[in-house]
Amino acid sequence: MRITTFGTIVAAIIVIAIICVTGLASALPPVVQPDQPPVVELPPTVTPTPTVTHIRPPVVSVSQLPVFEPPGPSTPTTTTTPTTTTTPVETATATATETQAPTVTPTQTRTPSIPPRPTPPTVALPQPQQNSPVGGVPAPSGQVDKMYPAVSGNNVIWVSNDSMNRSVSVQLCDIPSGNNSTISTPASVPLVMPRQLAIAENNAVWSGTNPQTGRVNIYLYDIATGRLQQVTKDEPGTPLDPGVSQDYIIWTNLTGGSGDVDLYRIAGGTATPLVTAPSYQMETAIGGNTTAWVDNTTGGDFDIVISPLSGSGGVILSEPGDDRYPGVSSDGQYVAWIKFIENRSAVYLYDVAKGNATRITGESARPDSVAVDGDLVVYSDLRNGNHDIYMYNTITGTETPVTQDPYDQSYPDVSGGVIVWMGNNTGRWDIYRTSAG
């Protein structure tokens, strides 16, 4: 009986122990094998994308545009046959009497690595001798510099900077007649900066300032009617880099730490945000139905964005380096720009219809400004130690020097085979032109 009782007690103790162990085990976390980590489902990564609003649907985000990698370079054939003798574009004395426009420095909360805009080199002017005739070589303060020309058809415009009379104006020249006129006013003083004026047929535009208010605005001058209008209305930001076509004006609006793209329909007098994003979009250009600008949304460097006015089918031309200064042909067929990689640069050309890009210059020449129209690309570079002008024929693939001399020539433009640029052949900056034949 005691044996049985003892056995019953032992069995009870074992059952109690098993229950305790089981309860303790259920209270502990499950054992994870080293080769089988627990699966953790992360929330989806949210990447902010810029909001892009086009005039007509569909809405296309810059980050959704396909990325195009330009192919390897093609080697252009260079011919040393010089072009027609250049002709200076004579100018009338500027009639504006306002003070020179101040340099605009937008307030920025962050500054990306932006290559500086190329600027004409300083020219050492010859000094008058003691036996020089009256009115000999003027001092630099008395110079009237004509700079940054733009051409369309028979019309050429440029910025005239009369430092002695503290006068800055936009000048217009009719090529067949040689007549010059001042088309800006004391309330629309142009900025003395590259890429701040453009022309297409009868539309001349520039970014300028009213010295009374100090605000920068975009101005439109109708060559046919002589009407000048202020396009922007002192809105927040700094409108710069205007481009123009027959029907539209495009510009970038710099605000604190970013730049947006605006589009203005000339006939309707309405402006529409084309791109708004927390990054830099700038150096805008337009031709036909093609718009272009530089953008650093996709990374630290700048890429070329090409988008039709319809808002669909745009591309980002992206590869290492900073892509800058795009120009669009008047028919919208070509976009030319300059790629900067460290201390090297080259001219690239994009065929909108074919959707391909080609490098048309070497990198050692260091081109610094470019324009395109029809089958001609014109640019200035430093291959000879000073700025010279060259042209590239897109049909023949040949490059031809436009100028080859010890002077500096830069900022060319082209329209219908007529090439214009600024040169310091006389010791001051003048406007020159030639025909590509």
* Helix, strand, coil fractions of the chain, as percent rounded to 5: 5, 40, 50
pLDDT at residue 117 tops 60: no
Please give the average per-residue pLDDT across 319-336, as a whole number: 95
The rounded radius of gyration (Å) of the Cα atoms in the chain is: 32
Four-residue CA torsion sign, 249, 255, 259, 261: negative
Question: Quick one: pLDDT at residue 257?
Answer: 80
Q: How confident is the model at residue 18 (pLDDT cuts 50, 70, 90)?
A: very low
Return the DSSP state at 352. T
The alpha-helical segments, DSSP class H, found in 177-309 are: none
How does pLDDT run across 22-63, given as a tens digit for each residue?
443 343 333 333 333 333 233 333 333 333 333 222 233 333
Nearest alpha carbon to residue 157 among 203, 121, 117: 203
pTM: 0.72
- Identify the residue with better confidence: 256 or 437: 256
Query: 68, 355 in Cβ contact below 8 A?
Result: yes
Q: How confident is the model at residue 86 (pLDDT cuts 50, 70, 90)?
A: low
Please give the average per-residue pLDDT across 98-119, as a whole number: 33
pLDDT at residue 95 tops 50: no
Other CB atoms within 10 Å distance of the CB of residue 223: 20
Task: Work out the mean pLDDT of the chain and round it to a whole number.
Answer: 75
Three-state SS at 274: strand
Please give the average per-residue pLDDT across 100-129, as a whole number: 32
Please give the average per-residue pLDDT across 272-285, as a whole number: 90
- Identify the residue with better confidence: 437 or 328: 328
Percent share of the chain, pLDDT over 70: 67
pLDDT at residue 186 tops 60: yes
Q: Which range is most confident: 34-38, 294-298, 369-373?
A: 369-373
Strand pairing of 398-401 and 77-78?
parallel
Please give the average per-residue pLDDT across 284-311, as a whole number: 91
